Structure 1
Amino acid sequence: MTDIVELKRLLNDRALDVAEHLLPRGVLEGRDWCAGSTAGETGRSLKVCVKGAKAGVWSDFAEGGDSGDLLDLWCAVRGQPLAEALDDVRRFLGVERPSFERQPRTYRRPERPQCQAPKSAVLDYLTRERLISADAIRAFRIGEQGRTIVLPSVLPDGALAGVKYLGVDRSTEGRKVIRVEGGCEPVLFGWQAVSNANLRECTITEGEIDAMTAWDYGLPTPLSVPFGGGKGAKQQWLEAEYDRLAQFEVIYLALDCDSEGDAAAAEIARRLGEHRCRRVLLPHKDLNACRQANVSAEDIRRHFDSARTADPEELIRAGALADDVVDLFWPTSESRQGYRLPWRKAGDKLRFRPGELTIWTGGTGEGKSQVLSHAVVDMASQGARACIASLEMAPAMLLKRAVKQAGNNDRPTEARIREVMMWLDTWLLLFGQVGKAGVTRLIEVFEYARRRYGCDVFVVDSLMRLGVGSEDYEGQERAVFELVTWAVAKGVHVHLVAHARKSDRSNGQAGQVPGSEDVKGTSEIASNAANIIGVWRNRRLEDELRQMGEAAAAGDAVAEMKLRELEDKPPVVINVAKQRNGDWEGKIGLWFNTGSYQYRSANDDRSGLEYVA
């Protein structure tokens, strides 16, 4: 799309070619193309930067300090108004002007209204009640018919396109009394007040009086939509004005600060280009209301300077994230996001942050679901609310394990079970289906749990129970992508259990802990995860511990010494193989308590944690 913004970029990319084309008698000196003036004679007074970050910027030091970009230079050298220069530039660049299909329509030109310059009721209303200056009234060619304001729409070529009549007095119902000449072309009001054809910025308001107020405030090229805010038919003027607005690089949308104004601004920006349009948020409903509230021109200019383009929601300016970046370098206890692992050895090295998906992987029987269960119980003590879809375990069996982990007890009394269950009930919900479940339905239930109960941690155990086969790579990718998309959109964390590929782990070395490449299925599973945690049981060590324990119990002193050595080795290892949003990856050794189903690191109390006092 070759609008003015794109043309300016294309010219800057060919700054040297443009300078040579416009000023053929100039010479290149370092980064500058030098000439005598915009008339093109030889000399050094006019310099055009043709290389580097400032390519396209020029200054004429001998002609009163004229300067600008290459479009300004084109207008100055060729003596053309901007609209004509843009067509010339397109021919030079070999690009087409923006165009669209227009429905052929016939409009009538109205007769010049029988009116006079405001002298009585209209003048009094505009100057005293609406605080419009006499200069603005003259510039916009406002007329008076008794107690009616005559508002002409005059095109840049002087042709009268339409007339609106606005009563000074309201109707008995308190509404404005408006009459419009029928059959006329819908165009913007205010072209008659534009004195410079080369202006590059304009202001679009939602009413003629607001346009005149903008003129009094000194705002750029004030124009008004003909039919007010809203969308659809109210913005039919865009078709007629599209070409005339093509010369504006910045279009300020100072429409009313209400729902109708927002709807109009959104449609105008979409049609004219979000990159050119900036929505102005005023301190009062509209510009004239600001004038009546004594808002200064300096304050209004600040609101215009702070106006932002109607960027897509997905596009974020870097500066808007300054606080977040500072927190990543120097986090405080309040700014740290996400939940930690239960073990002191892990500390803050890994955080399960909002908007992420973590893959827990390992072979069958390695304990990945059990480790994750302990981690979720600990997250609850940090303030998490969880919803678990354990598609491989009945809800009651899952809760039995959670009761052991939360209560740090293998055989709790009935009273203790009920006490722990009351604590679990404050933060835990279960997806009560075992077997296969479609990911769409699962997300629907998760979304309900998020909205009604405030859940922010979600567990899916496991991927292969989401109705996708082990060889259905497209289905796996689609399921994981849906979970990731939902987690990001809702700011929650999803933990997904995925089996590891079969491999030879018989040597019992911790180096065999599964990593990113060991997740079973398509590579897109690992690629879409923010974190990947592999879980591995050292079965050889477990066998040796059992053998040495039996021998020591029988009185074998050597076996007893060996047993103490073996007990210092962790029988479970987790491998943080990927952490996209963190700086640490590595392994942590864990010891498993068969009574409480809790895991402890070397830095933890081996007696376990009491999550329920």
Structure 2
Amino acid sequence: MDSELVLAHQPCADCGSSDALSIYSDGHTYCFSCEQVREGEEVDISEAQSANNSTDLYPVSYSAFGKRGITEETAKFWSYGRTPRDGRMVHVAQYLDDNRKVVAQKLRLPDKTFPWKNRKAFKGLYGQWLWPKSGREIVITEGEIDALTVSQARNLKWPVVSLPDGAGSAVKAIKESLDWLQKYDKIILFFDNDEAGREAVDKVKRLLPAGKCYIAFTPEGYKDPNDLLKAGKSHLIQKCLWDAKLYRPDGIVSGNDVIERLTNRVKRVSYPYPEFMERLNWMTAGGARLSELVVWTSGTGMGKTTVIKALQHHFFKTTNFNQALIHLEEPLEDTGDDLIAYHIGRRFTVEADGEDFRDTAEYLEAAKELFAAKDTEGNFRFQLYDAFGSLEDDSLYDIIRYLAVAQGCKFIWLDHLSILVSEEAGEDERKRIDSIMHKLKALTIELDIHIELISHLRKPTGNGKPFEEGGVPSLDDLRGSGGIKQLSNAVFALSRNQQAENGLVRNTSTITVLKSRKTGRTGTADFITFSDETGRIEKGVDPASLDDFDQSEAPTVSDY
């Protein structure tokens, strides 16, 4: 320690400074102005040794930090100086307790390492001892030099403190000083404008009292406040603090931001469902819209998939949108056959009158009209996902994102939700469905797409009418999770009495709106029937009005 004592200050012959040259006990000199180091003969320091009662700490001398733009006055005010180490002078930040006694020191070495002396003796924020225990405003910077910079730009009059160990110490240091900080009305986080600084802000802002935390960053091109000072733009430091934004939890919008959002919002266009769903269009304020998630449900064999395919064909004919068809319960070929049959308006399964219709020119022509159709960007208007059986839900989101972004699909059809959920022991079906619904809904907003999916019902309980006998489901009958009814924009149910003696009754389905977030309208919408001749859905009548007619041999609609 003997060789590190400062014995005197005198003029510098190299730069002409009047008092920046320090003479040390080992004889070497260092100029704090031009930073020139010169060797010399050792000096007798017996008196200096006896006068120095802090041999456990580094000796410190104060002067301006020219390269940093920091004045000697600022350095002294902050107890930030220099000390010799390994033949050169290095920065030293002194940490004081509330009695203004130095209890710890932190060096700043040329290799950008920061060794401490007595680190455990200090808790809290650098500079905390300088300011009152309450006040109007305080600024927290990421490092000591930045604290000096901001303080100097504000004439050493406004409270500023610094994290002791950079961004990595943010949470710990803020917690240690939280009782002290929260007595200030306004707390401004002024961390470095880089990834580490922004991550530290995200961690710290939730620790501070609500309504008191403000966030400031330097302009692009400047990492921290000292960069502004070195560039001669110290006036921008104050502007950064004036422009600091009040932290609000994500999603909260108020004041002029609300008005701006309202006046600049995207006008949502409604795309009507087919004419045989006329009342459904009224109950949903015009039909389907982008950014919405719609659920169809019913008991087993009610014709959900048939109705979905009718809608796919309808939107192919009435919009320019590309569509993605994800039917997990059937091979791709069955999906293609059903859409071609609907397009032609002629039913066929495997053979008709001994001839396989798939071998005809009419079939091929219809296939080309549907599946070779392209949008103006050259993307096919129908994108079919080829996966019979289960699909990992994480893969599903990637697939939907690809279809929406790369292939321009705006309507996504998913048949059905339940097959996505593994039945393996130990899996929580409710949580899985809840997660899937959250992520699907998020995708509709992120990608501005419309998703319609099929969800199954749980087995009915109690003495209510079975779904297969015309019982109308409720939202609580949806299988697996409250997330289905909570996160969907609309829920539609199909019901039909499959056991009715009257054939037309057996063949007539009722569409019931269980939820319409847009309008709040619920209840019976439309009655639809399946044409055995054309294989298409047509407008029907209330089954209650058909009881007087004997149509026991009429065909029934079911999933193909």
State the TM-score, normalized to the length of structure 1.
0.58
How far is the alpha carbon of 1:339 from its aligned partner? 6.0
1:339/1:228 CA distance change after superposition, 3 Å:
farther
2:184 equivalent to 1:226:
no
What amino acid is aligned across from residue 160 of structure 1 in structure 2? V
Residue 164 and residue 520 in structure 1: after superposition, are their counterparts in 2 closer, same or farther (change >3 A)?
Answer: closer
Q: Aligned runs of 1:232-311 on 2, under 5 Å? A: 237=173, 241=177, 243-245=179-181, 247-248=183-184, 250-269=186-205, 277-283=213-219, 284-291=222-229, 292=231, 294=233, 295-296=235-236, 299-304=239-244, 306-309=245-248, 311=249
User: What residue is the counterpart of 2:382 in the other structure?
Assistant: 427
Cα RMSD for the two superposed structures: 4.6
Q: Is the 8 A contact 2:141 2:163 kept in 1?
A: yes
| SS of equivalent residue, structure 1 residue 488 | helix
Q: 1:115-149: per-residue Cα shift (whole Å, max 9, x none)?
A: 4441xxx35x1xxx434456534432343558644
Structure with bigger RCO (C-alpha 8 Å, 6+ apart): 2
Distance change (3 Å), C-alpha of 1:177 and 1:445: closer
Task: Supply the distance in 2 between the matched residues of 1:526 and 1:166 (Cα, whole angstroms).
Answer: 57
Shift of 1:228: 2.0
Alignment of 1:22-101 (within 5 A): none
Distance in 2 of aligned mates of 1:275 and 1:583: 36
Deviations 1:227-258 (A, max 9, x none): 22236xx8654575455445345432211111
Shift of 1:406: 4.6
Name the structure 1 match of 2:273.
341
CA distance in 1, matches of 2:55, 2:176: 17
Q: Secondary structure at the match of 2:167?
A: coil
User: What is residue 158 of structure 1 aligned with on the other side?
Assistant: 100
Q: Tell me, yes or no, if the aligned pair for 1:204 and 1:225 is still in contact at 8 Å.
A: yes
The equivalent residue for 1:485 is 438
**Could you say which structure has the higher helix fraction?**
1
> CA-to-partner distance for each residue in 1:410-436, whole Å, 9 max, x for gaps?
6733233244233496432335225xx
Deviations, residues 382-433 of structure 1 (Å, cap 9, x unaligned) = 5254242342x44322221122335656673323324423349643233522
Percent of matched pairs sharing the same residue: 16
Is the partner of 1:533 in helix, strand or coil?
A: strand
Could you tell me which amino acid in structure 1 is paired with residue 385 of structure 2? L
**Aligned partners of 2:216 and 2:240 also within 8 Å:** no
Match of 2:335 in 1: 398
**Residues 514 and 302 of structure 1: is their aligned pair in 2 closer, same or farther, counting only changes over 3 Å?**
farther
Aligned length: 434
Matches for 1:176-255 after TM superposition, within 5 Å: 176=112, 180-181=116-117, 183=119, 185-187=121-123, 188-194=125-131, 196-199=132-135, 201-218=137-154, 220-230=158-168, 237=173, 241=177, 243-245=179-181, 247-248=183-184, 250-255=186-191
Task: Give the match for residue 24 of structure 2.
Answer: none
Q: Tell me the distance in 2 between the aligned counterparts of 1:575 and 1:487.
A: 23
TM-score (norm 2): 0.62
> Which residue identity does 1:578 align to in structure 2?
K
1:450 aligned to 2:389? no
Q: Deviations over 1:36-64 (max 9, x none)?
A: xxxxxxxxxxxxxxxxxxxxxxxxxxxxx
Contact (CA 8 Å) 2:313, 2:342: kept in 1 or not? yes
What is the CA distance between 1:288 and its match in structure 2? Answer: 1.9
Q: 1:382 to 1:191 in 2, by over 3 A?
A: same
Aligned residue among 503, 522, 526 for 2:465: 503
1:534 matches 2:493: yes
Describe the superposition over 1:210-232 as per-residue Cα deviations: whole angstroms up to 9, x where unpaired. Answer: 1122223449521112222236x
Structure 2 unpaired stretches of 5+ = 1-53, 348-356, 375-379, 541-560
* Cα distance in 1 between the residues matched to 2:339 and 2:521: 29
CA distance in structure 2 between the partners assigned to 1:318 and 1:479 by the alignment: 34
Q: Distance in 2 between matches of 1:244 and 1:274?
A: 15
Secondary structure (helix, strand or coil) at the match of 2:397 reads helix
In structure 2, how many angstroms separate the alpha carbons of the residues matched to 1:338 and 1:324? 23
SS at match of 2:241: helix
Q: For the residues of structure 2 that align with 1:186 and 1:261, how far apart are their CA atoms?
A: 23
Q: What is the correspondence of 1:564-575 to structure 2 with a 5 Å cutoff?
A: 573-575=510-512
1:581, distance to aligned residue in structure 2 (A): 4.2
1:326 has 2:262 as partner: yes
CA deviations on 1:326-349 (whole Å, 9 max, x unpaired) are 37xx97xx5317865344832743
| 1:516 corresponds to | 474
- Structure 1 residues 486 and 197: CA distance shift in structure 2, 3 A: closer
SS of structure 2 residue aligned to 1:230:
helix
- From the superposition, tell whether residues 321 and 444 of structure 1 become closer, same or farther in structure 2 (CA, over 3 Å): farther
Matching residue of 1:56? none
Asked whether the 8 Å contact 2:212–2:246 carries over to 1, the reply is no
The answer to whether residue 527 in structure 2 is matched with residue 577 in structure 1 is no
CA distance in 1, matches of 2:397, 2:485: 24
Distance 2:417 2:112 in 1: 65
Separation of aligned partners in 1, 2:419 and 2:260: 36
**CA 1:303–1:150: 2 relative to 1, 3 Å:** same
Given that 1:110 and 1:181 are in contact with CA atoms closer than 8 Å, whether structure 2 keeps it comes out as no
Q: 1:592 to 1:265 in 2, by over 3 A?
A: same
C-alpha separation between the residues in 1 aligned to 2:416 and 2:260? 32
